Amino acid sequence: MFINGKWMAAENSREFKVYNPANGNIIGTVPDGGKNDAVLAVKAAHDAFPLWSETTAYQRSEFLYRLYSLMMENHELLAATMTEEQGKPIQAARNEVRYGADFLLWFAEEAKRVYGRTIPSARADQRFLVLKQPVGVVAAITPWNYPVSMITRKIAPALAAGCTIVIKPAEDTPLCAIEMMKLVEKAGFPKGVVNLVTACDPGPVGDVFVSDPRVRKITFTGSTKIGRMLAKKAAGNMKRISLELGGHAPFIVCKDADPQIAAKGLSLVKFLNTGQACICPNRIFVHSSMKKAFLNVLTDKVRTMKVGQGNLPGVSIGPLVNRDAVEKVHHQVEDAVNNGAVIVSGGHSLRDNGLDNGHFYAPTILDNVDEKMLIYREETFGPVAPIITYENESELIKRANDTEYGLAAYIYTADLKKAMNLFEQLRFGIIGINDINPTAASAPFGGVKDSGIGREGAIEGIDEYLDIKLGGFSLR
């Protein structure tokens, strides 16, 4: 763990093992931190806050640039660690490192643009001044599916704003977080500004984050269940919160879309990270007139996807994160089939040809999916594409919005008017229109409803770490 600028074991000296999900090999052992370690880290961040928050924006920007450069220099090491620990194919891991580094670059600039404003008063002798100031100590809880970029997406705006931070990475992927902390150390941040607590059981550390009054902000990416629980507890002392939670994205292929382009887009975004992304489509609404052509292209693409260890050439589908994930995916597939869905491709786990010790599931297409099935409501987080046929466009919006989630949605159409109408009517935070990658450091990422609160990236991303202060000046 990295606390107050020092590398540390857990107070109780306990450790836990980290496994490669592609072959079950042990790839590392890390400290199993608990309550006291979390308290120490919060204290370090709290002690570091006065000095860090008083550095100039230009100084903070310099640190972020330095960390960006170090990430780019250590690009290959970070990507290799990620493939080994999380499973994604090496090219996808490289893309994630670049995407993650971009948050540092972007917020290195944004640090200099934390503008306040003056507001005219109705009284001639009064002036209003609005100032933005860092919220204080931030506690960040990050997930395993994007183990590097979810860290930079939080630390970049927090540090740019002048906050100090304690990070708790997911128990499946602490090694990526440790590699990132080595770069933080090299970048020379003052001690206590960035701290890392690793833990096998996240509960006790999370409890310190939500209950210690020195923590003024919780930023969390993970499941809706845990996000809701943390938000309830954080309300105890009115901490600011940002939550980036689950999703159940509709992917709409209108009758005027090009089925080839739509199927290609779907094959990329559905199987991204083996389906383990919160923006992955989970209900694919295809107009009946388009179904055959769309399915033909999709099936060809899916059948040629190579599944395997992410560091082998040509592999585009890595393992799922653990055995439970494989079981959950298969349970949804079985439930769908029992309720009338048809397997077009896949539909089973993979254990042969060297995959026996990993958590692999065949890329799967399910046709005839409908409202009765679990997969229609529950997030899959796996490589299954559920196809729903529709006829009536007026009902489509209602059906697409019929979910408690509201993160991403996708529309494929050649009709601009239709695209604008769907864009305005769909209740989701991020909408791709003939586009499967509507995310970047410069763009606000986040959801509505059960998909979360707050935005990451863009000008909105730094506001999450700033308090607003109003000054009323009497000149009398």
**β-strand 364-367 against 384-390: which pairing, if any?**
parallel
| Stated length of the chain | 476
When asked if residue 340 is in the footprint of ligand ADP (CB under 6 A), the reply is no
Active-site entry in 244, 379, 456, 464: 244
Q: Which is nearer to ligand ADP, 217 or 301 (CB)?
A: 217
Q: Which is nearer to ligand ADP, 100 or 222 (CB)?
A: 222
Q: Give the interface segment with ligand ADP, choosing from 1-9, 81-89, 219-227, 427-435 (CB under 6 A).
A: 219-227
Residues 6+ apart with CB under 8 A from 435: 265, 410
When asked if residue 31 is in the footprint of ligand ADP (CB under 6 A), the reply is no
- Contact 22/321 with Cβ under 8 angstroms? no
Q: Which is nearer to ligand ADP, 170 or 411 (CB)?
A: 170
- Contact 251/400 with Cβ under 8 angstroms? no
In a 3-state reduction of DSSP, which class is residue 59?
helix
Q: Could you say which of 100, 222, 259, 265 contacts ligand ADP (CB under 6 A)?
A: 222
406 token code pair: 């509201």
Q: Could you say which of 226, 337, 343, 433 contacts ligand ADP (CB under 6 A)?
A: 226
CB of 240 to ligand ADP, least distance (A): 17
**What DSSP string describes 271-334?**
SGGGG-STTSEEEEEEEGGGHHHHHHHHHHHHHTPPBS-TTSTT--B---SSHHHHHHHHHHHH
Q: Which is nearer to ligand ADP, 242 or 267 (CB)?
A: 242
Q: Does the annotation mark 200 as catalytic?
A: no
When asked if residue 171 is in the footprint of ligand ADP (CB under 6 A), the reply is yes
Taking Cα atoms as reference points, which of 57, 51, 56 lies closest to residue 5? 51
Q: Does the annotation mark 278 as catalytic?
A: yes
Active-site entry in 163, 176, 278, 280: 278
CB of 202 to ligand ADP, least distance (A): 3
When asked if residue 218 is in the footprint of ligand ADP (CB under 6 A), the reply is no
Give the x/- contact pattern for ligand ADP in 136-165, rule: CB under 6 A: -----xxx----------------------
Buried-state track 229-255, b at ≥16 Cβ within 10 A, e below 16:
ebbebbeeeebbbbbbbbbbbbbbbbb
When asked if residue 322 is in the footprint of ligand ADP (CB under 6 A), the reply is no
Residues that bind ligand ADP (CB under 6 A): 141-143, 170-171, 202-203, 206, 222-223, 226
Catalytic residues: 244, 278
